[in-house]
Structure 1
């Protein structure tokens, strides 16, 4: 449980810091490398990436939406098939960001398992 919480916190803080200066897709290599370095199972890795990136994007998108009274979210939601609901756009943004982070973290955990196979599994 400790490793899951630390990975989640590390993803949340480092992705928020890096996305200030770099493009949005920096979360993919970041999550992949962090999961490769940090020893967690596949399911916990996906969940840590999904929650870490999704929560970060939700907080940032909500903060930006509140600052402009939801006008931009409403207008973008009108362009997409969301019926002009800005809150639905925030939900879609959170889920998409979470899926990108979760899948990248899962790939990093799987790469770790592929390169560093435990000795117990080699005996079978």
Structure 2
């Protein structure tokens, strides 16, 4: 349930605002719902990684991979798939640590 909530609310927040709103969503939802620190990090990490890889793949398919390949060339990456994977992992790490911070803030205030 938390996984789906993070994906849906982060997608809506990032559609109307900047990318870092997903960190606020992860923080708030893990503050509210998570039961263990490992689960707070893991669920937030997987949800944001799924969201970002899915959205980056959609963008890549929409423009036939032209922009992704050019950006991959700038960073000297061998292909656009690696760029999409790295992007998803970076977003996942931010989301995971944000979820973990939300869990620990709830524990600190309890």
TM-score range, shorter chain: over 0.9
Long gaps (5+) in structure 1: 1-5, 117-124
- State the TM-score, normalized to the length of structure 1: 0.85
Q: CA deviation at 1:30?
A: 1.3
- State the TM-score, normalized to the length of structure 2: 0.96
Q: Which residue of 2 aligns with 1:23?
A: 18
Question: Is the aligned partner of 1:33 residue 2:28?
Answer: yes
Question: In the comparison of the two structures, how many residue pairs are matched?
Answer: 110
Q: What SS does the aligned partner of 1:81 have?
A: coil
Question: Is the aligned partner of 1:95 residue 2:89?
Answer: yes
Question: 1:16-63: per-residue Cα shift (whole Å, max 9, x none)?
Answer: 111110000001111111111114210000011111111001110001
* Runs of at least 4 residues off by over 6 Å: none
Distance in 2 (alpha carbons) for counterparts of 1:40 and 1:12: 18
1:71 to 66, 77, 82: 66
Select the structure of larger CA radius of gyration.
Answer: 1
Long gaps (5+) in structure 2: none
Distance in 2 (alpha carbons) for counterparts of 1:72 and 1:39: 38
